[in-house]
Structure 1
Amino acid sequence: MNQRYYSLDVFRGATVALMILVNNPGSWEHIFAPLDHAEWHGCTPTDLVFPFFLFAVGNAMSFIMPKFQKEGTAYFLKKVLKRTLLIFLIGLFLNWSPFVMYKNGQLVAKTWTWLNNDNGISGIRIMGVLQRIALCYCLAAFIVFFSKNVWSKVISITILVGYWLLCLGLGSKADPYSLSGFFGTALDLHLFGTPHVYKGEGVPFDPEGLASTCAAIVEVIIGYYVGSYIQKKGKSYEMLANLFVAGAIVILVGYWWDMVFPINKKIWTSSYTLYTSGLAIITIAILIFCIEFKNAAGKWSKFFDVFGKNPLFIFVISGFLPRALGLVRWVENIGPDGKKVYTTPFPWFYNHICKNIVSADLRYGSLLYALCMIAFYWLIVYMLDKKKIYVRV
């Protein structure tokens, strides 16, 4: 990437670093409020990670789309569909991993894989973060490639408004934006079946379901147009000022829409798309001002930059490694009933090194563990960067 767009690399890397921070607390029961998702409506800093990542996907697309258009439709379809399929399958692999488990103290292959026949209600989740990224990337690329600029913007507005109307028309009359009233859950259950949707909310409900993916597509498209605009205008104060103005307007529209269509990550409302896109635009503008205009790049930007060079790899490894290391266990003590109590590497590190750094408030130990995880994964991508190894799909 051209040096004058180095800030976009830093933006992507900082998003990955924040993702590791919020996904790896020492204890999910001891988290500072900004590092946890909003319970339902609303938006915390943690709720910015996923939309910022999709926004960065759109930025990256703006650099490759001219080549797609030059090479033609066949080349475009081959590249985009292949990448979509690979990312989706990698996400499914993460949901399925690590393929083995402990049973009666022995490590054995899972007795069930796609569906647990013992209870009939648990199985491999089909959707997930990478699966949503794959679908959003694919559909956003199709919209941008096959439609003119004006039409792609019209399509984006139609998606946002149409999704709102679907929520109103097909959702619960009492509260169409509630966990029980959201229409998309019925669609996911019908297409995937109860065993294959997320159940972390206490009931079958998938925060990366198909219906709520609609509005997320627009996040990528907005990222694409912001990236294209930055390239078109180049390093100028006019470009920078327009980014700040555009970001502020998009945030205000998101806030306005929030009054009737609440900002909500878990059902990815249209107001949430606009609000987070506006914040992403302003964040990009601040980074451009600091790095490109004030030459403030240094060790801090290099730290995030290496994350940005291998974003997919570090996302996958940070999801897979804890599961794989969870199979490496040893006896920590014997319980009162005489049963062995096991521990594994990462929990041992939290409980014995980080947990009681401030015994009166375990949130500090949980945060220290998350920061250690950032440092650990940074060392991995730093070594890859030193060897010029960049994992692409």
Structure 2
Amino acid sequence: MAKERLISLDVFRGLTILLMTIVNNPGSWEHIYPLLEHAEWNGCTPTDLVFPFFIFIMGVAIPFAMPEKIFDGSTFNKIAVRALRIFCLGLFLNFFGKIELFELQGIPLLIGRLAITIAVCYALMGNFSLKIKTYVTLTVFVVLLFLAYSGIEAYQEVRIPGVLQRIGIVYFFVSFLYLKTRQRIQILTVVLLLLLYWVLMALVPVPGIGAANFEKGTNLAAWLDSVLLKGHMWVYSKTWDPEGILSTLPAIATGITGLLIGQWLNRPLPKLEIVKKMALTGILLVVLGLLWNTVFPINKSLWTSSYVLYTSGIAILCLTLLYYIIDAVDYRRGTKLFLIWGVNPMIVFFFSGIIPQGLRMIQLQNPELSTEQINLQKYLYSFWIAPFFNNPLDSSLAGALIYVGIWSFILWLFYKNNLIFKV
């Protein structure tokens, strides 16, 4: 039986998904405040904290979802199916914009894509028996992979990796590790994964390139992606993927770090004692990450070992502060907004990837150029938001905040009616 929800964790998750929504939905991608952009390569901005925070939070939540460490065939099946459902949701996001239906175009094609989306969403988020979940999820997974490698022109370059795909993989391994090992083994696993990844990236020569390096597109992780994911990588590079294969190893370490904190929070210890231990651990990891940065740069795209320690440390400190205020002191005023975001993160993430693509498929006549058309997303921003601001950075941020406001209303309705969508 699942333990009672940890409110500070839900609030932390809500803050993270809200920041993600702002970052991923600017009014204009050409005008973004620096803090809301990813680091060009090495380094870490607030935006670069979002993804590792998600994985860390997922790790923290595992002991609360499975307080009794019982590992049997049914438990393994549940974990595997949930991981695969998350993976398939992410994979479908990569398919949405490539779906072809006969020779449909424009609105008819959009309606067809949305109908398929609703069917897939129901299949992967519906509350069925475990047996039905297993068969349905496997069917969706096989169909998507078949399409990706079928040679059909529309899907021959569809991306296989992605954010949800990595979360699904990390969830599977971290859950398995939680149920089968003790904390000493989990700590040792983190250390070994981070050291192994460092050694591979720093010492192993890159085939066809030369010496080991940490540069964009020429490192060992990029080479492995180019071999195993050829034609199915990030659209902006097509030669490497920021959620690629090798860099998933240290991402698992991020999840285990969250798992260790989750087990601390699950212990029957005085809350102030937990706060002190977490704060010290967070500070230690941040310092270690900065020290390691001198030889293995903090880098999100490579998910370097220093990046794992640095971002995990910051995540621990953020959760510590929230845990102290909300759970230890029992002060919850002003947390409702983030709470309603935190209990329904998957529905926001999934449809935040669908909605912008759908808006871009709707074409309108450009009021300023009668001979040209403009997509609905650009139309709404250009004529309903941007004219009210002199600074394009402000108008772009306003576009993101309006989008957040719309989602906040939707999530409030879900929360009010006790609708929580789980995978």
> Residue 226 of structure 2 corresponds to which residue in structure 1?
189
Aligned Cα RMSD in Å?
A: 2.5
Unaligned runs of 5+ in 2: 114-146
- Choose the corresponding residue for 1:311, options 334, 340, 345: 345
- Choose the corresponding residue for 1:353, options 366, 384, 402: 384
Aligned runs of 1:72-111 on 2, under 5 Å? 72-98=71-97, 99-100=99-100
Deviation string 1:181-203 (CA, Å, 9 cap, x unpaired) is 2111221222221x210132x45
Q: Which amino acid aligns with 1:348?
A: Y
SS in 2 for 1:63: helix
| 1:381 partnered with 2:411 | yes
Q: Percent identity?
A: 33
| 1:162 partnered with 2:196 | yes
Deviation string 1:279-299 (CA, Å, 9 cap, x unpaired) is 00000111122222343312x
Aligned runs of 1:260-275 on 2, under 5 Å? 260-275=295-310
How far the C-alpha of 1:237 sits from its partner, in A, is: 1.6
The separation in 2 between residues aligned to 1:240 and 1:66, in whole angstroms, is: 21
The separation in 2 between residues aligned to 1:188 and 1:75, in whole angstroms, is: 34
CA contact (8 A) 2:204 2:212 kept: no
> Residue 364 of structure 1 corresponds to which residue in structure 2?
394
SS in 2 for 1:330: strand
TM-score, reference length from structure 2: 0.84
The separation in 2 between residues aligned to 1:21 and 1:334, in whole angstroms, is: 28
- Choose the corresponding residue for 2:354, options 304, 313, 320: 320
Deviation string 1:205-255 (CA, Å, 9 cap, x unpaired) is 200001111101011111111111012144522111111111000110111
TM-score, reference length from structure 1: 0.90
CA contact (8 A) 2:3 2:67 kept: no
| 1:297 partnered with 2:298 | no
Out of 270-279 and 175-184, give the one that drifted further: 175-184
CA contact (8 A) 1:219 1:277 kept: yes
CA contact (8 A) 2:361 2:375 kept: no
Over 3 Å counting, the alpha-carbon distance change for 1:189 and 1:369 in structure 2 is same
The separation in 1 between residues aligned to 2:316 and 2:105, in whole angstroms, is: 53
> Residue 31 of structure 1 corresponds to which residue in structure 2?
32
| 1:255 partnered with 2:290 | yes
> Residue 228 of structure 1 corresponds to which residue in structure 2?
263
CA contact (8 A) 2:363 2:373 kept: no
The separation in 2 between residues aligned to 1:372 and 1:249, in whole angstroms, is: 38
The separation in 2 between residues aligned to 1:121 and 1:332, in whole angstroms, is: 31
CA contact (8 A) 1:254 1:274 kept: yes
Q: Which amino acid aligns with 1:128?
A: G
The separation in 2 between residues aligned to 1:198 and 1:341, in whole angstroms, is: 28
> Residue 253 of structure 2 corresponds to which residue in structure 1?
218
How far the C-alpha of 1:171 sits from its partner, in A, is: 4.8
Out of 46-55 and 377-386, give the one that drifted further: 377-386
CA contact (8 A) 1:95 1:124 kept: yes
CA contact (8 A) 1:198 1:206 kept: yes
Over 3 Å counting, the alpha-carbon distance change for 1:369 and 1:100 in structure 2 is farther
How far the C-alpha of 1:145 sits from its partner, in A, is: 2.0
Out of 7-16 and 91-100, give the one that drifted further: 91-100
| 1:341 partnered with 2:378 | no
Over 3 Å counting, the alpha-carbon distance change for 1:268 and 1:171 in structure 2 is farther
CA contact (8 A) 1:306 1:385 kept: yes
CA contact (8 A) 1:9 1:308 kept: yes
